[in-house]
Structure 1
Amino acid sequence: MRYRTLAGTDLSLPVITFGAWAAGGWMWGGTERKDAVEAMRASFDLGVNAIDTAPIYGQGTSEELVGEAIRGIPRDKVYILTKFGMRWDLAKGDFAFHSKDNMGKAIDIYRYAGKESIIKECEDSLRRLGTDYIDLYQIHWPDSTTPIQESMEAVAQLIQQGKVRYAGVCNYSAAQLEEANRYVDVVSNQVPYSMVKRGIEAELVPYCLEQGKSILAYSPMERGLLTGKLKPGHRFGEGDHRANLYFFSDENLRRTNAFLEKVKPIADGKGISLGQLVLLWTLEQPGITVALAGARNTEQAIQNAKATDAELSSEEVAFITAELNELELVK
């Protein structure tokens, strides 16, 4: 495993960090707790000593599983990244969407980052995770009903109390990141980035490079689209959020898989999978510090972790990017 230091911190994170959204089951058609815990432990054994989670992932389930997975590991040997600002148990803030929990019960999701909510969420996360501090605490989504100053000053207070080490944001624009940084030292922005979702390259990446902020890329394999394993006609299981996303239409699966076939010889030549190739390309893009990769079982976790056993040359990166620039998906 290779490591990169999060800007302005002493956190040396694995370039492929374990993303624990799918492990929580919510919006992924449920979870097998035993498989999820074993996947995290298998990752740790291969040098993936950082896990990114959130309370909303399974309404506490993901954090509980992370806590179970890291039990027995010296606390300073693993980095915990979690979030705040998405409530399913409080109707306050920006209404986000209707959903169902892992038991099939209807729930409403709100984006809310008021001070009192953040303090409560932090205590709840610490309890579920079985720890007394969080390494990187990130607002999950912007909340238009709460001033950024209020949210960030609450995180600054948690840092002062020793419950949080560093502050991060997720899904923030460059302007929002700039404002947040006035009230607390924001070290990172976690945003969606993949071969087929590159919007951050226009404004956010240049800003972060200029200001010395790290970018954590989530969904680098676009929720499985870029693994090459999904074929036209694929039917997702009940509760799987991907069923209604345009990325997974039959036409877009055809187009994406045609692109993947063009770059597959590079993967074959290195003895790696398409998914591993995609992760390597992502890590070579300007401004990207870490790629978050999810896994629901040990096999997937091992494959993600071992991606960094291989490397891409600048010529290979350029070839992949040139082919990628010819790919257009239908919305």
Structure 2
Amino acid sequence: MNKKRRILVTGAGGFLGKALVKTWAAKENAEVIALCHQQQKCFAFSENPQIKTGAVDLTSPTATTAFLSKNQPEILFHLAAVARLQAGQQDPEKAVKVNLIATIHLLQEASRHGLKKFIFVSSDLARDAKSVVGITKLLMERYLQLFAAASPHVVVFRMPNLYDFPGSVTEIFARQIAENKNLSITDERMARRFITKEEAVSYLLYLMENGKNHQIYSIKQEPVFIKDLALKMIAESGKNLKLKIIGARPGEKLYQASYSDEEAVAVGFHHLAQLKTEAPSLEKIFSCIRKLPVSNATRAVLQNHFKNLF
């Protein structure tokens, strides 16, 4: 009980990463390694002796291997990603390099270094994936399902949208309200599922203790219409602002439905549910890879990674 449990958080300088790192560091007998893409992203942790920081470009295999060898974590939370829909659409090669190729190498090194658990943060975009980010997240879910090494145990959390995440609709609406501008929404039918960053941290820490190997988890709750969210924020502001329809972006889905009982089973922790999934076939994986607007060389690298699992 007195042994310190050492976790590594990639993407630690991000909105959710900071919350996860600080929550874990506040626990007794806890150590945390905050891994950021750039060292200045980790300055928020500099005064806490429980938190060790490091800067590594995860797309560099040698740097990733050296960092794991030096720090020897027990559990890894992988949050680092190209996560925004538009960023993936604008640079598909980078999204594939970060979300798939670098993550696969990180997982392989985690196995080689004997880590006990690898918790991967996926996205609601992976469900019926249409965007580049959604497809890369779905493919990584499939890779983790098929990863057969004895360690680490791999667990996936398919993250809903986070309230007030930088670039999220709530953050954009708050800024527009502060500037006395009408609120821009893409479509009146647009609906999304939301949780707070505190809820997200609680789900991740629960899955660290209770998540089953090779399983994917998400939240069973109804989506919120973005129009209703915007009108509520306008009402709370007391300002006389209106809505402006700007149209959906490429790769963007209108409606994110909740999971039915046929799709997911509740695990008894708030709204958390385990998805009912089948083992993916190589044919379906290759079909998914072909949807990515990337070079033939990049596509071949991905195909080879997945071939090695069968």
Give TM-score scaled by structure 2 length.
Answer: 0.36
Give TM-score scaled by structure 1 length.
Answer: 0.34
Which one has more relative contact order, counting CA pairs under 8 Å at least 6 apart?
1
